[in-house]
Amino acid sequence: MEFAVEYIKDMYSNYMILIPVDGNGYKTDTYARKMLTENDISGLLTCEIRTYDMVEKYYYNISSKQPIINVFEKGQIDEIQTSKLIGNIMLAIKEAKKYMLSEEDFVLTPEYVYMNMSNFEVGLCYFPGYNKSVKEQLSGVLEFLLERVNHNNQKAIVMAYGLYKLIRGDEVSFDNIEEFMNRTLNQEDASLLHNEQYDREPEFETAGNDYITNMIGDNGDEDEYDAENENTNGLLYDNKERGEGKNISDSKMIGLAVGVYVVVMAGVYLCLSKGGRINVGLLLCIGFTLLCATIAIVMLIRQNIIYKVKEETLCKVQENEVVYDEENYWQEEYTALEDDRTVLLTQQKSITGFELIGEDGERIKIKEFPFVIGKLKEKVSYCINDVTISRLHAKLDEYDEDTLLLTDLNSTNGTYVGEKKLKSNEVVKINMHETITLGNYSFVLIKE
């Protein structure tokens, strides 16, 4: 099911609204709607469903958040940012799986993946009936990141391109994505990121300093949950090809041992009772010896099974894992991709000739498009450090030689063209000598 998008702002919050384009939103999955609105699912944007003219509209609260297409507008993404983004997306999908929500109903297009810029936590949209391959969507996210990766950072290239190749492969799973990110990050980065982002009460039990394991979690109830959902064929949870599920549980092994022991002792009892008299001492001695032998044999069998499963799993992983520690290999691979996808990976910049003139007469040269204005210095083209300006407040893009496009980036205090206030994420044309206002700051657009 496809959807249209609207943005509104009330006195308290900003909302992104997803509306079914076929008008049949009222007939969408009742269970999924109930899960979305009645549960606080980690990693999902807060959702409210309102019905107008028999069409359900999904109101997602995007206050104080930005879509990643705005967050990474200026590029220069490193390996830590990539691993945080992909790891948190996987965490959100894993959390939703507990509520039996389909992973293919997540909307992972960069325009709709939101992020809290203070801690990198993602907020995803879930649209019942969307039914888009999560593998293809994650590939799209990685393509988006590859456009903006820091080309001078070898580890950033390794992380982004390695994940891209892994996700595009035939046998991708939650586990080998997690393993790849763990191996690519060093322990110092892993420990630092964990301390920054996860100071709240953890939802999963964790062990050691393994960053991605800590981030994605290793829930104590996971085995029980996976057993209940063992027929699920989703991208991140299909581990049947890796030998999982073949191990025999301790309870089954104990049952086997007890069964073998009872059968053998019954046979011994029958043999000893044929003469009419039973030597109790001999029976107990034989019984104890058989018990020890049974336990030893069962433990050996169990150990052998575990070893074979681990060996089988390791072979599978080694067959499918991406080689990332050979610098020449990665440079050749990435250079080939860059040659094939010049439009994707090349950031086009130009001297535009446009300027903004402030009220104090300051001339701000617009040297490139997009031109982002806000107070988050490392993410904007022009920084205004003022409480009335949002981290990413507004964006200018080229339309033609005398006209620009102005976009409000979900700002708190709004963006104005003349006296008209733009809606959240609204795009409008602005012409020469028009005035734009961001918070307490006004500018006139001119051209040299």
Residue 322 has what DSSP assignment? P
Contacts of 48-53 with C-beta under 8 Å, sequence gap 24+, read 51/26
Which H or E element spans position 296?
helix 280-320
> Taking the model in full, what pTM does it have?
0.63
Q: What is the Cα–Cα distance from 430 to 443, expressed in whole angstroms?
A: 12
Q: Rounded to the nearest 5°, which phi and psi values hold at 182?
A: -60, -40
In tens digits, what is the pLDDT along the chain, a chain of 448 residues? 789 999 988 888 899 999 988 755 445 668 888 899 999 999 999 999 998 888 889 999 999 899 999 998 877 899 999 999 999 999 999 999 999 999 999 999 999 999 988 788 899 999 998 999 999 999 999 999 998 998 888 888 989 999 999 998 887 888 888 888 888 886 455 544 444 433 444 343 333 334 444 444 444 443 443 433 433 445 554 444 444 444 455 666 667 667 767 777 777 666 766 666 666 676 677 777 777 777 777 676 666 655 555 555 445 444 444 444 444 555 555 555 555 544 443 344 446 789 999 998 989 999 888 999 999 888 899 999 999 999 999 999 998 888 999 999 989 899 999 999 998 889 999 999 999 999 999 999 998 7
CA–CA–CA angle 68, 72, 74 (5° rounding): 155
Q: What is the Cα–Cα distance from 98 to 94, expressed in whole angstroms?
A: 7
Instruction: Establish whether the linkage from the previous residue to 370 is cis, with ω within 30° of 0.
Output: yes
Place of tokens 């959702």: 47
Which H or E element spans position 235?
none
The secondary structure of 347-382 as a DSSP string is -------EEEEETT--EEEE-SSSEEEES-GGG-SE
Q: What is the Cα–Cα distance from 235 to 135, expressed in whole angstroms?
A: 7
